[in-house]
């Protein structure tokens, strides 16, 4: 498998972990425009239209606090599987072992990107600022589009970009996971502190009776 194909598969796989439907639609459009080597199956009109409709749905859902985390949870399997399918299509003319590597690698990169995105959204949803969701979504969509563009037009740049994003995403996932745990633990302690004392806790009330 040459470096160009590796960059194409890696870029598409990572980007699919952020927004699968955007990747499918953008690959199809770029293929139609002759920007780079895109399989005919992704350039079909019905595939592009369905992908763009689903992208529009996700574009809205991804900006709604808390619902975005639910959407990510639903796509925990969908994005990696979709990325693996894209990898198989992109390497359709390659040897079977190369295609297997592309499928596994693309799915793995999508899983890593999805984990970083989902963890970041959980951390953002613990913040009282609703505008953060929209900003994060726009940044993610921009990164997805940029990576797909380079994957098709300049795969070597895409490969470098994916490597940097993979390392940054891993570090971000670890850091934000720790922050989210601390926030949840703090909220739990706060709720427990607000609970009225039970029969065995708190101050005891003495009732005096007169004979």
Band (pLDDT 50/70/90 cuts) for residue 185 is: confident
Band (pLDDT 50/70/90 cuts) for residue 205 is: very low
Question: Which DSSP string corresponds to 27-66?
Answer: HHHHHHTTSS---HHHH-HHHHHHHHHHHHHHHHHTTSTT
For residue 3, what are the CA distances in angstroms to 22, 38, 114?
24, 16, 24
Nearest Cα to 116, choosing from 165, 163, 78? 165
Domain residue spans of the chain? 3-192
Residue 78: count of CB within 10 angstroms of its CB: 14
pLDDT of residue 98: 84
CB contact at 8 A, 151 and 12: yes
State pTM to two decimals. Answer: 0.81
pLDDT of residue 129: 61
Per the model's pLDDT, the better-predicted residue between 183 and 201 turns out to be 183
Q: Is the pLDDT of residue 204 over 60?
A: no
pLDDT digits (tens, 9 = 90+) for 94-110: 678 888 999 999 999 99
Distance CA 99, CA 93 (A): 8
């Amino acid at each position: 498998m040459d470096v160009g194909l590796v960059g194409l598969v890696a870029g598409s796989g990572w980007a699919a972990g952020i927004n699968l439907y955007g990747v499918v639609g953008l690959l199809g459009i770029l293929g139609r425009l002759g920007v780079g080597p895109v399989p005919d199956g992704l350039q079909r009109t019905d595939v592009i239209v369905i992908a763009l409709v689903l992208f529009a749905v996700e574009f809205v859902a991804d900006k709604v606090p808390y619902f975005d985390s639910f959407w990510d949870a639903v796509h925990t399997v969908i994005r990696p599987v979709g990325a693996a399918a894209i990898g198989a299509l992109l390497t359709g003319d390659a040897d079977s072992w190369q295609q297997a590597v592309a499928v596994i690698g693309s799915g793995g990169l999508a899983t890593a990107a999805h984990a970083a995105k989902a963890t970041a959204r959980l951390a953002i949803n613990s913040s009282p600022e609703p505008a953060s969701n929209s900003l994060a979504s726009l940044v993610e969509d921009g990164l997805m589009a940029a990576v797909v563009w380079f994957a098709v037009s300049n795969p070597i740049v895409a490969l470098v970009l994916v490597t940097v994003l993979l390392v940054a995403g891993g570090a971000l996932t670890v850091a934000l996971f720790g922050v989210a745990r601390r926030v949840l633990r703090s909220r739990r302690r706060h709720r427990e502190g607000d609970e009225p004392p039970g029969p065995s806790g708190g101050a005891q009330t003495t009732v005096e009776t007169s004979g």
